[in-house]
Structure 1
Amino acid sequence: MAAGPMPKPRANAPAAVIAGVLALLAAAMLIWFALYNVFVAADVNGRWTGLMVQNAVFGVLAAGSLVVVAGFTFARRIPGAWTLFGLCVFSLVLVFVGTPLVSGTPLGAQVKWLFSFDDGDSTAMALMIVFSVLAAVAAAIAGSVKSPGGKI
């Protein structure tokens, strides 16, 4: 009796679901950040600044990327889980290192703003950081702890 080809291993189911949910929460925080810049910050200043446009555009693009990769992680694809891990780590590096380098903000001032919780955009970014760290850990577990293929 030929058993047929062995199914490919898949990402660990519980870890993949947890990683996907955390990625969706991080994406929601990025949308909150973008909407804050579109509506609240523009109303306060009376016009959009270049930084507000940058925050809104990149917030939506990053959220969209997280949603797509979370879908592949929900589908228990091992490359999807590792891509989610990489995207979360990359976004954390950008928030802590890339943004201060581009804008000329001292690292201490950036960290203070991120975790100040004084207004909507810093709160959204702080929560995005927390959800991204947790999603990265869960995605690494999902990609490392493989389950047998098939319907489980």
Structure 2
Amino acid sequence: MRTHNPLYRRPKAHAVASPIAGVLAVIAAGMHVWFALYNIEVASSREHWTGLEWVNVVGSVLSALFLLVAAGFTFARKIGGAWTLCFLGAFFTAATFLSPLMRGADVGAHLAFIFGFEKSNGVAVFLASAFGVLTATVAAFAAGMKSDGQPSQPDRPMVSG
């Protein structure tokens, strides 16, 4: 088995793309937290939280948490972490566009909300989606352009002469 060879190292995600994907994921997580805080502020102004506000707050906080965990593994150059980050970035971006439509929201109104920058939560949603796409793309590059795990030059004993 190759794992017993002391010169063999496991492949790692790309050294430059991994931290870039991690930073983009942290920014995307910050946008999700921004959206959650906006919804907490709006919901706190009323006596009773609606179901949509609960979904927005809990979903945003959980998505930020998942992104941060995957970003940590991507910073550590784990290939599985980079692929997970790629999937999460794409999934949360798709969920941003599709989940309101599954509840019966108007397509035009929803797209106007995302791309309209009308309120603080609209800006947060757009930026979370934009950074989600960037995170997924760079994380896919980080996982796909992995190093082979072999040292560039094998260790050789020094010859005294």
What is the TM-score when the length of structure 1 is the normalising length?
0.90
Distance 1:71 1:43 in 2: 32
Counterparts of 1:113 and 1:25, CA distance in 2: 21
Q: CA 1:150–1:55 in structure 2 vs 1: closer, same or farther (change >3 Å)?
A: farther
How does the TM-score come out when normalised to structure 2?
0.85
**CA-atom RMSD, angstroms?**
1.9
Provide the identity percentage.
Answer: 43
Unaligned runs of 5+ in 2: 152-161
Which letter maps to 1:32? W
1:122-142 deviation per Cα after TM superposition (whole angstroms, max 9, x unaligned): 110100011111111100100
Higher helix share: 1
Question: Could you tell me which residue of structure 2 aligns to residue 33 of structure 1?
Answer: 35
Conservation of the 8 A alpha-carbon contact between 2:12 and 2:148: yes
Residue 134 of structure 1 is matched in structure 2 by 134
Matched, 1:48 2:68: no
Q: CA deviation at 1:97?
A: 1.6
Is 2:7–2:150's contact at 8 Å kept on the other side of the alignment? no
Local SS of the residue matching 2:81: helix
Q: Between Structure 1 and Structure 2, how many residues are aligned?
A: 148
Listed one character per residue, the Cα deviations across residues 11-54 of structure 1 (whole Å, up to 9, x for unaligned) are 00110000000000000000000000001x12554542211111
Structure 1, gaps ≥5 residues long: none
User: Per the alignment, in what secondary structure is the counterpart of residue 16 of structure 2?
Assistant: helix
The amino acid across from 1:38 in the alignment is I
2:54 aligned with 1:84, yes or no? no
